[in-house]
Chain A
Amino acid sequence: MKAWIVVLGIGAAIEGTAVAARLPVAAQDAQQAQIEKGKVAVTQVCVGCHQGGGGIMRMLEVRTRSAEEWRETVYRMIGRGAQVFPDEIEPMTAYLVATAGRGRPQTSSPAAGADAILARRCQQCHDLERATTKPTSEDWTTIIDRMITLGASVTPAEQQTLIEYLAGLKK
């Protein structure tokens, strides 16, 4: 559950930035508030049934859906018993649109590329929070080199993408 929330949380921040770049300031704020409200609702509602559901977490990581499709998913979950207030349906939809699918291989931005590498290479052994948190004062190059000696399968190009991405994260 924790990992899922972290995944979605990071995703929201990244996607929120991308969305914000295309909208006026007031609309950006409204959009971000909507996403935040949706995040709260998703974490309160969905975990009631999907607590510990690794499969659901993975599907949320790899699935990309349109707003219409995510809204339908929310409706279906309501039918199955999810307790959603009427004014949470759209925020949940917005949040899922903004965050889900973060584990899919993407090439449109370095962040998205790193995200996919993290999902594919690092999260086989670590949850995302651990994979993106430096355990020591070593630099990321040293840490990733050590991971490779321990069996991580990372190409030189992927290693470079990861280093740039992880070094840029504010921790």
Chain B
Amino acid sequence: MSSTEKPASDVSRRDFLAATAATGIALSAGPSVSALAQDAPASGAAAAQGAGAAPLPTAETFEMYEGTAAGAVLAQLRAAGVRMLFHTNTSGFVPFWEAVDRAGDVQVINVTHEGHAVAAAAGYAMASRSLGFFFGSGAGVGNSMSNLYCAWKDRVPLLVTYSGGELAEQGKDGFESWDDQLRPTEPFTMWTASLLTDEMTEIVRRAIRFAYGPPSGPVTLVWGNAQPNERVRTRIDKIDLEAARHRFRASPDAIQQAARWLVEAQHPMFVVGPEVSEDGAAKDLLALAEKLSIPVTDTEDDLYANFPTDHPLYIGQLRALRYPRQVDLVIGFGESFKRRRPQPGTPTVHVSHDPNLLGRVYPVDMAIASDIRMAVRDLSDAIDGLLTRDRIARIRSTRLADVSALTRQFNESVDVAMRAFFDRSPLSWERVGFELERALDKNAVIVPELGTQAYKLLRQLKIGGENKLKFGRTIGSALGWGVGASLGVNLALPDRQVVALQGDGGFLFGQSEALWSIARYQAPMLIVIMNNHLYNETRARNSNNGGRLFEAGKDYNGYLGDPDVDFTKIAEAYSLKGEKVKTASELAPALQRALRSMRDGKAVLLDIEVEEDGPSLSNATWYQRHSIAEIQRKARI
């Protein structure tokens, strides 16, 4: 791949049509989805070249490297622009450390647990739209798995590398070793490989290719057969990560058909998913929605801020929609419909850059395999070709009046509901969201890892567009992701306020150690613990159905208040600031103190007492008692 190659994404549909005409490339009508996936990249590349959008690459796109094998890997990473590496303690990387030291422009972030390190690398990759890189011990494969799984669910391009796993060790049951070390990671990876000495840099290049896709995701590698300080002579390719994700576009026929449906529909609706942000399509999608005032919805699985939540066209989450009542066309952009789907029978167009997802969980009427930004731009161009400007303006104004009248009323109800609990202590989730919105910068970054109550807080925040960014909750939902991920986000976006939103239960999934790295690298974040001494979501689900345990007021796994953890002391143990907030009136001043500390460069943990939600139990603090001390005491009697 050439660093001078211009991404095909910059080619408009008009350029594309002109180019295909100029080069004589025939446009086949109605190709199958699989054919689209195979043919479209070639068409895009041909269009780019045929339109004269980019010159043929002439400059040298590689250079030769001589040095240690570990140094070759670092050189290849640097040639791809990678400058931030995440590591968890192990020995055996001396040649790599020496290469890092020699390079002088690479930052290594030490994280004290492989799982948190992988989460941090993922957070960094998501926020920087770059590649996350981790190196650590093969003995830590198990530790890293939970967040490797989350990165796979979130489709984050990561290279996760482990020492050990040498082929010569197979079958020996050696120290810290087992055969086929990467096999446990296979379900959660795009590819696994060994960094064999004679092909190290080629394997790194290939790994990046697999990691970026689309679909993108983690690749795991073992450091193979390199001997300490073994020297190699190898090729280092320049890699442009901006162009690393292949972009391909739909056939013009498919776009034209979808555009026709869109202009004919009376009550169309867009559903947006994570691919919108992955493909950098958020601004274009906003423009397309505004062109015809098409209401936009998302799902609770949305990893990113794909559409501004304060926009009059944002109509809430797909699961609870009342507008439009009779949707006559749904276009899903990069949303897999895995959890929430349109009403059965609703005509649906599904656009995804992952052909494997198209129509998988929901039978759609038209499947369009395309880069999302390209599809949005192509649709917009096609609409311009179908409707006059006056007609577009009429549709836009009429529909906008309808949609915004409804969203205004719904927002009014949200405000009424929020104010009903405004002064309550322990605090309502709505109040916490309200105060965060008031205190934080407009462009702050939110990294939530909360349960089903999250929306009560997040609904109060202005997210997306020119507002706040959001990364998470991880679609994998495996708790123990958020604090590490938020560190990675802050490393990628050092000039923004970053807020990790945690439940007490989620934080207790072993996340306190991530505070060590937050302190070490002076990440001036805000960590909010929504503390209701409870796995609230679990209790609500367990209790909703009534039954024996509900009647008895028993909850075997929900209660967390014994011991009553003082999270501020955990923060202070890592030399961070901590403050408890017990009443509603304490929150705003505490937030101001926290922001001052953050401006001074020190992270703050706020331990906020929040109310529980769901069916209350008569014996809310009940849990199944067991005391080893009591057993010992009895034994002594």
Contacts and interface: CB of A to CB of B under 8 A. Distances in A.
A75 interface: yes
B545 A81 contact: no
B413 A54 contact: no
Contacts of B317: 81
Interface stretch (A55-63, A124-132, A140-148): A55-63
Contact of B545 (A59, A75, A80, A89): A59
Interface stretch (B77-85, B131-139, B142-150, B318-326): B318-326
Given A75-B420, A83-B316, 15 more contacts: A48-B320, A62-B546, A74-B417, A75-B417, A76-B417, A78-B416, A78-B417, A79-B429, A79-B456, A80-B456, A83-B323, A84-B413, A85-B409, A86-B416, A89-B413
B430 interface: yes
A72 interface: yes
Contacts of A10: none
B613 A76 contact: yes
Most buried by B among A56, A62, A80, A89: A80
A78 B414 contact: yes
A54 B545 contact: yes
Interface residues of B, number: 31
A116 B459 CA distance: 40
A45 interface: yes
B615 A79 contact: no
Interface string A37-55: 0000000110011000111
A58 B547 CA distance: 10
Contacts of A75: 416-417, 420-421
Contacts of A74: 417
Interface of B: 315-317, 319-323, 409-410, 412-414, 416-418, 420-421, 428-430, 452-453, 455-456, 459, 544-546, 613, 615
Contacts of B417: 74-76, 78-79
Nearest to B453: A80
Interface string A99-116: 000000000000000000
A20 interface: no
5 contacts: A45-B320, A48-B321, A59-B546, A86-B409, A86-B416
Interface of A: 44-45, 48-49, 53-56, 58-59, 62, 71-72, 74-76, 78-86, 89
B416 A83 contact: no
A73 B615 CA distance: 10
A106 to B, nearest CB: 17
Contacts of B453: 80
Nearest to B315: A83
Contacts of B414: 78-79
A58 B320 CA distance: 21
A80 B452 contact: yes
Given A44-B322, A49-B319, A85 B546 contact: no
B545 A86 contact: no
Nearest to B420: A75
Contacts of A54: 545
B406 to A, nearest CB: 8
A55 B545 contact: yes
Contacts of A85: 409-410, 413
A101 to B, nearest CB: 12
A59 to B, nearest CB: 6
Contact of B320 (A53, A62, A71, A82): A82
Most buried by B among A44, A56, A58, A84: A84
Nearest to B409: A85
A3 to B, nearest CB: 15
B544 A56 contact: yes
A80 B317 CA distance: 10
Contacts of A79: 414, 417-418, 428-430, 455-456, 459
A44 B430 CA distance: 24
Contacts of A58: 545-546
B456 A83 contact: no
Contacts of B319: 48-49, 81
A80 B455 contact: yes
Contact of B316 (A53, A55, A59, A81): A81
A119 B160 CA distance: 56
A74 to B, nearest CB: 8
Contact of B416 (A49, A53, A82, A89): A89
Nearest to A48: B320
B637 to A, nearest CB: 46
A73 to B, nearest CB: 10
Nearest to B325: A44
A89 B315 CA distance: 19
Nearest to B322: A83
Contacts of B321: 48, 83
A72 B414 CA distance: 13
Contacts of A62: 546
A80 to B, nearest CB: 5
A55 B420 contact: no
A79 B316 CA distance: 11
Contacts of B418: 79
A56 B317 CA distance: 20
B547 to A, nearest CB: 9
Q: Nearest 8 A-B pairs (CB), nearest first? A: A55-B545, A79-B456, A75-B417, A48-B320, A55-B544, A78-B417, A83-B322, A75-B420
A70 to B, nearest CB: 13
Contacts of B456: 76, 79-80
Contacts of A86: 409, 412-413, 416
A115 B533 CA distance: 38
Most buried by B among A48, A53, A62, A89: A48
Contacts of B409: 85-86
B324 to A, nearest CB: 12
